[in-house]
Structure 1
Amino acid sequence: MFPSGANLLTVGLLVVLEAMLSADNALVMAVIVLGLPRALQKKALRQGLAGAFTSRIIATLLAVQLIAVLWVKLAGGVYLLYLAYSHFFSHGEPGERRRAKRAEPMFGLSAYWATVVRVEAINLMFSIDSILVAVAVSRVTWVVITGGILGLIAMRVIAAQLLKLVERYPPLVDGAFIIIAWIGIQLSIEYLDASGFISLEIPRTASLGLIVAIFAAAYIYARITGPVEHALDPAEEQATELLTDDRPA
């Protein structure tokens, strides 16, 4: 049986969304390993990201099952709305999480393995939003996992291009967070409908069409407003080199 057009479109949308949301997060994870000796940095990053792939699949499988639970729908919807609000209205120090700190032992682990675990944990934490969006957009397990994994691979393979893209064209990331807000609203409506508070069901085709429209509008707006120049600090430059260096560790 061949995948339907809607499923393939959903996979494509999830890949793009994952790439947009993960580009900056990948830079943060690369900065974390800068606290290790240079000879260990690339190895730690690759081991951390490899472990993150496994944990991502497990978390997605759990989310596919748990999203059917009403309170999980509500909690997920509220969380996504909070993320969108924070993106547009939070004015914290933008470079704080991109500052390299010296690697230290943790929970009985050496500094090296503590760093690997931190990379895995932060990757999973950063993945919560995209996992919630994926399971809200589609209940088909292979679609959710394929979209997420291909997005992560795209982020890893073309990290430098993605980083440059999201830094120079902020409306693309803004569009991703508008989609996150929409999915948060959708999950909240599904909760209210299932709980009997309202009678409203949003067709998945309509939701998918709106997501495509938001992506298109963000792209057009980004092209109209033009690129924004952004100078990388030394830590960001080192982190970008780590992400794009394909030589063996």
Structure 2
Amino acid sequence: MFGLQMPPVNAEFWAILGTLVLLEGLLSADNALVLAVMVRHLKGELQRKALAYGIGGAVVLRILGVLLASYILEYWWLRAFGAAYLAYLAISHFVKHRSTEDEASGQAKGRGFWATVVLLNLTDLAFSVDSILAGVALIPRGMPREQGLTIVVIGGIIGLILMRIAATVFLKLLNRYPAMDNVAYALVGWIAVKLGVETLEAAHEVYPSVPTFHMAPVLFWGVMAAIAVIGTFLATRKPAMTEDAAEAKAEDVVRSFDDTVADAADGRIDGR
């Protein structure tokens, strides 16, 4: 349907896929945690009903995000927007002092059911855009569009799977080491730099007066590895809670998702 083509399975492919797994895992865990926090102020069955809309929105928006990715890969000015957005995302994360969980709780508190549902889906939209743009930015500029889109699709599928299957693992990691969020967004910031450089290259071909630069793959992946290794070392030096407490908190969020899916399957999602 989208003209997908499997790219060569080489070292670069596995490096891109591995980065996507890390980013999708952390961002999906963040997404799951935020959705669970944002419905806490609702009463009884309304929590599960709102959460169901949130989960459904996440699925739909990921699909729409993949459709958007096909255009971003084709037009350089859309890539420029993507680079600017990813840079804003990384900068705003480090400028803010409140955690994602605290921010989500503050935004949702006092809102009614439908206002909460709308906010949940806006949150899903933000996380979907984050993940899809990160996937697009990792695609080498010289890679055929069909191959690049295939990798983005794989990343989107991974994100949906990780939102539930590996949610406990990544939520436990974020609960125990909250600073791992910083590693993810530092990677996003460096990915934004790469996408920005490639955007200038593409713009230079259309408008020769635009200055152009080139980032060697070894430089990009070398800095990515340094951020991941050094960032993880620093983030894991001081655990925020015990391993058991982190696991219990993660399982509580995942249990909410499981209850929602079970209710949807037997028709009780509206509390009947």
TM-score (norm 2): 0.73
Q: Give 1:126 shift.
A: 2.2
**RMSD of Structure 2 on Structure 1 (CA):** 3.2
- What stretches of structure 1 of length at least 5 have no aligned partner? 105-110
Alignment of 1:50-199 (within 5 A): 50-92=56-98, 95-99=102-106, 101=109, 104=112, 111=113, 115-138=116-139, 140-196=148-204, 197-199=210-212
Pick from 13, 20, 30: which aligns with 1:7? Answer: 13
In structure 2, relative to structure 1, the CA distance for the partners of 1:85 and 1:121 (3 Å cut) is closer
Q: Is the 8 A contact 1:31 1:98 kept in 2?
A: yes
Q: Is the 8 A contact 1:63 1:131 kept in 2?
A: yes
Partner residue, 2:213: 200
**Higher relative contact order (Cα pairs below 8 Å, separated by 6+ residues):** 1
Is 2:240 the counterpart of 1:228?
A: yes
Partner residue, 1:242: 256
Q: Give 1:56 shift.
A: 1.0
- What stretches of structure 2 of length at least 5 have no aligned partner? 1-5, 140-144, 205-209, 264-272
Q: Give 1:14 shift.
A: 0.5
Q: Which runs of 4+ in 1 moved over 6 A?
A: 235-238
Partner residue, 2:54: 48
Q: What amino acid does structure 2 have at the position aligned with 1:22?
A: S
CA distance in structure 2 between the partners assigned to 1:148 and 1:186 by the alignment: 20
Pick from 209, 220, 229: which aligns with 1:216? Answer: 229
SS of structure 1 residue aligned to 2:215: coil
Q: Is the 8 A contact 2:176 2:241 kept in 1?
A: yes
CA distance in structure 1 between the partners assigned to 2:96 and 2:45 by the alignment: 37
Q: Is the 8 A contact 1:10 1:208 kept in 2?
A: no
In structure 2, relative to structure 1, the CA distance for the partners of 1:166 and 1:145 (3 Å cut) is same
CA distance in structure 2 between the partners assigned to 1:51 and 1:130 by the alignment: 15
Q: What amino acid does structure 2 have at the position aligned with 1:12?
A: G
Q: Give 1:206 shift.
A: 4.6
1:93-127 CA deviation, whole Å, 9 max, x = no partner?
Answer: 761322453553xxxxxx46x65454333211222
- State percent identity of aligned pairs: 38
In structure 2, relative to structure 1, the CA distance for the partners of 1:3 and 1:37 (3 Å cut) is farther
CA distance in structure 2 between the partners assigned to 1:2 and 1:67 by the alignment: 15
CA distance in structure 2 between the partners assigned to 1:247 and 1:127 by the alignment: 21
1:40-79 CA deviation, whole Å, 9 max, x = no partner?
Answer: 4334423431332122122222123224323322222222
